[in-house]
């Protein structure tokens, strides 16, 4: 990234002496994350996926890659309380970042 050709206090993202707040300052905000809780309904161990029934009675697909370190896929049997995020998948909504409920 090139340095600006005008005097800058602090960093490129701070205000500078010429025109007030920097026009190049990032406006990034963290994405809104909706964490849902539910229960593992079914695990298909040989295929590496399963289903979660959320507290609102909706059912979500999850893949073993979407589990956090707090859960061991090989030990899941069903009935475990979990929390997860919902994202759009190729075949509909899916559970990601699945972890043990606190």
Give the pLDDT confidence score for residue 10 in this predicted structure. Answer: 54
More reliable by pLDDT, 64 or 2 = 64
Count of beta carbons in the 10 Å neighbourhood of residue 59: 13
Q: How far apart are the first and last CA of the chain?
A: 43
- Model-level pTM? 0.66
Dihedral sign, Cα of residue 55, residue 58, residue 63, residue 66:
negative
Q: Is residue 20 scored above 60 in pLDDT?
A: no
35-100 maps to CATH 3.50.50.60: no
């Amino acid at each position: 990234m090139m340095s600006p050709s005008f005097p800058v206090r602090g960093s490129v993202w701070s205000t500078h002496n010429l025109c007030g707040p920097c026009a190049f300052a990032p406006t990034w905000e963290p994405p809104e994350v909706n964490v849902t809780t539910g229960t593992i309904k079914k695990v298909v161990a040989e295929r590496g996926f399963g289903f979660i029934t959320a507290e609102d009675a909706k059912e979500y697909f999850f893949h073993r890659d979407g589990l956090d370190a707090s859960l061991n896929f090989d030990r899941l049997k069903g009935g475990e309380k979990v929390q997860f995020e919902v994202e759009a998948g190729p075949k509909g909504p899916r559970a990601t970042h699945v972890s043990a409920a606190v």
